[in-house]
């Protein structure tokens, strides 16, 4: 397939996809492409760029990262990307400091794909500057940051789509409509969310000086200035509570959000969790290697379980997914598939997957193997994001939904740390009857960074 032929085919597919999403006057009718900037150009930052370039007319104007190698690699990949709807005629400008990037350009869209501890501050500046936002999950590292993001999105009238993905993927929409909404599950009383992939790093090289191409002080940002060990960056920051909230907020937030959406759940009224480092005690990683959590909704219990050791279970979802149990059957949800298993004698087995979307863009095979499935998963989220911008509506993974799902995971960690359950007042957005827990809704920021407040 030639580049020109590929682009014509993709243009037609993208126009149809955007129209299907409910846009009156497709995004492709714009007089000019959306001007896009990306903050955080590692794994998910590049995936988000690929997916957006495939489904909407965009010009990648600028890129920002504290790792110069990441920046240069991202720019090269953007310029060489074969499936961009719009030819990238000018190389993106490169920035070390997100504040300078946002002050130097007028963006329509900003993508934030940094580690979790760096989500809130750039997001607030981007929205204030006039940009709509594609924000990776989990949206923040503490609850108060999330409240500030929701307030800012509403005050500035910005579309903010969160990268939880599965509210827009075809097979998960099918599962919601054909199984949950059709009543095939009967009465649902229990939801089991799990992640058994081994992601917690067992060992790290000795402490050393950061490489010259990486600004480690800026990388740590508002979090404590940690000693630098090779292999923390670019992927294994997830092994540290200083940068993220562990695998409950990395893998778990996806499926907590998916099940909340499918079952139309809001906030849990009580959250509890236990866990710790029980097996891999030799690592400097600060996230637990074993954790369970419970989220108590009205008439329904949701649980989370993960362990970073042992065998990975078999089944439709493999090591990461969710099971929704009803008295008439079970819905098993995987990252890119679902299976409905009825109680014997009470219906037909149903199944669906994302095979059509995974095959829709043949050039995906040219991407690194770790990016292919994620790019396919993200495309539908980007289509929905553009549709919301075009119509002025709320996206499927709106910032408020991302805030609820993220906060569930943060509150679970808080319960684990405190050794007691957390009672949550959804109306007042505060912890009930536990002032120590209430204070922990806000994490300490390292100077000179200042924690945001929900002022809009």
pLDDT tier, 455 (very low <50, low <70, confident <90, very high otherwise): low
pLDDT range class, residue 18, cuts 50, 70, 90: very low
Whether residue 343 sits in one domain with residue 255? yes
The residue among 29 and 187 whose pLDDT is bigger is 187
Is the domain of 214 the same as that of 346? yes
Q: Give percent of the chain with pLDDT exceeding 90.
A: 89
Residue 453 domain-assigned (yes or no): no
Q: Compute the distance between CA of residue 217 and CA of residue 227 in angstroms, rounded to an integer.
A: 10
**Co-location of 117 and 206 in the same domain:** no
Q: Could you tell me if 325 and 212 lie in one domain? A: yes
pLDDT at 233: 97
Residue 93: exposure state from Cβ atoms within 10 A (0-12, 13-18, ≥19): middle
Position 370 scores a pLDDT of: 87
Residue span of the structural domain in which 55 resides: 3-167+366-400
Q: How many domains is the chain built from?
A: 2
Q: Tens digits of per-residue pLDDT, 111-153?
A: 999 999 999 999 999 999 999 999 999 999 999 999 999 999 9
**Are residues 187 and 250 located together in one domain of the fold?**
yes
Instruction: Report the alpha-carbon distance of residue 358 to residue 371 in Å, rounded.
Output: 12
Which among 403, 447, 449 is positioned nearest to 99, based on CA atoms?
A: 449
Cα 433 from Cα 299, distance rounded (Å): 23
Instruction: Tell me, yes or no, whether 86 and 25 share the same domain.
Output: yes
> What value, to the nearest 5°, has the Cα angle with vertex 454 and ends 452 and 455?
100
| Same domain assignment for residues 272 and 389 | no
pLDDT band at 448 (very low <50, low <70, confident <90, very high): very high
Q: Tell me, yes or no, whether 253 lies in a domain.
A: yes
Percent of the chain scoring above 70 in pLDDT = 93
Stretch 341-356: mean pLDDT, rounded?
A: 94
Range scoring the smallest mean pLDDT among 228-232, 265-269, 342-346 = 342-346
- 450, part of any domain: no
Are 228 and 107 in a shared domain?
no
- Quote the pLDDT of residue 30: 56
63/45 Cα distance (integer angstroms) = 10
pLDDT over threshold 70, residue 2: no
Rounded to the nearest angstrom, the gap between the alpha carbon of residue 136 and the centroid of all alpha carbons in its chain is 4
What are the backbone angles phi and psi of residue 278, rounded to the nearest 5°?
Answer: -110, -20
User: Taking the CB of residue 225, how many other CB atoms lie within 10 A of it?
Assistant: 12
In the listed set 349, 377, 400, which residue is the last one of a domain according to the structure? Answer: 400
Torsion angle of the four alpha carbons 21, 25, 27, 33, in this order, in degrees rounded to the nearest 10: -170
424 inside domain:
yes
Query: How large is the average pLDDT for residues 373-385?
Result: 97
CATH assignment of the domain containing 194: 3.30.360.10
pLDDT at res. 10: 38
pLDDT in tens, 44-55: 999 999 999 999
Share the mean pLDDT of the chain: 93
Same domain, yes or no: 101 and 197 = no
Domain with 32 in it: what CATH number?
Answer: 3.40.50.720
- Where does the pLDDT of residue 25 fall: very low under 50, low under 70, confident under 90, or very high at 90 and above? very low
Residue 387, domain member (yes or no): yes
Residues 141 and 178 in one domain: no
Whether 138 maps to a domain, the answer reads yes
The pLDDT value recorded for residue 148 is 98
Whether 139 maps to a domain, the answer reads yes
| Whether residue 290 sits in one domain with residue 250 | yes
Residues 206 and 342 in one domain: yes
Give burial (CB, 10 Å; 0-12/13-18/19+) of 80. exposed
Kindly state whether residue 451 falls inside one of the protein's structural domains.
no
Residue of higher predicted confidence among 21 and 364: 364
Complete edge-to-edge strand list for the sheet that includes strand 329-333:
350-353, 337-342, 329-333, 320-326, 188-195, 300-307, 290-297, 270-276, 422-425, 430-431
Distance in angstroms (rounded) separating the CA atoms of residues 204 and 184:
48
């Amino acid at each position: 397939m030639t580049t020109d032929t590929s682009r014509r085919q993709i243009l037609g597919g993208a126009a149809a996809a955007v129209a299907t999403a409910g846009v009156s006057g497709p995004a492709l009718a714009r007089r000019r492409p959306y001007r896009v900037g990306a903050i955080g150009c590692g794994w998910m930052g590049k995936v988000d760029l690929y997916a957006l370039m495939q489904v909407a007319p965009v010009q990648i104007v600028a890129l920002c990262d504290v790792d110069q190698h990441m920046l240069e690699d991202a720019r090269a990949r953007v310029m060489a990307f074969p499936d961009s709807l719009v030819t990238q005629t000018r190389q993106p400008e490169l920035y070390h400091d997100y504040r300078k990037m946002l002050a130097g350009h007028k963006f329509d869209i900003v993508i934030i794909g940094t580690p979790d501890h760096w989500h809130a501050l750039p997001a607030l500046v981007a929205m204030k500057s006039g940009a709509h936002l594609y924000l990776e999950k989990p949206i923040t590292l503490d609850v108060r940051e999330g409240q500030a993001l929701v307030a800012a999105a509403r005050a500035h009238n910005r579309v903010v789509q969160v990268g939880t993905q599965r509210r827009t993927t075809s097979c998960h929409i099918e599962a919601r409509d054909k199984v949950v909404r059709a009543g095939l599950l009967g009465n649902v009383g229990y939801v089991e969310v799990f992640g058994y992939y081994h992601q917690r790093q067992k060992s790290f090289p000795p402490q050393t000086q950061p490489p010259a191409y990486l600004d480690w002080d800026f990388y740590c940002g508002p979090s404590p200035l940690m000693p630098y060990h090779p292999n923390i960056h670019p992927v294994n920051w997830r092994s540290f509570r200083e940068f993220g909230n562990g695998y409950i907020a990395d893998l778990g937030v996806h499926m907590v959000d998916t099940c909340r959406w499918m079952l139309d759940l809001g906030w849990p009224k009580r959250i509890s969790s236990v866990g710790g480092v029980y097996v891999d005690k030799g690592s400097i990683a600060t996230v637990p290697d074993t954790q369970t959590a419970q989220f108590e909704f009205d008439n329904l219990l949701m649980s989370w379980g993960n362990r970073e050791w042992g065998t990975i279970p078999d089944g439709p979802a493999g090591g990461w997914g969710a099971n929704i149990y009803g008295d008439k059957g079970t819905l098993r949800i995987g990252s890119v598939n679902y299976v409905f298993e009825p109680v014997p004698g009470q219906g037909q087995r149903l199944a669906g997957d994302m095979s059509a979307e995974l095959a829709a863009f043949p050039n995906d095979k040219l991407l690194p193997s770790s990016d292919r499935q994620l790019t396919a998963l993200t495309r539908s989220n980007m289509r929905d994001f553009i549709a919301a911008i075009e119509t002025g509506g709320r996206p499927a993974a709106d910032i408020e939904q991302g805030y609820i799902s993220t906060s569930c995971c943060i509150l679970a960690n808080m319960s684990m740390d405190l050794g007691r359950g957390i009672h949550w007042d959804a109306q007042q957005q505060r912890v009930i009857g536990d002032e120590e827990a209430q204070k922990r809704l806000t994490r300490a920021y390292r100077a000179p960074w200042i924690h945001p407040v929900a002022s809009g």
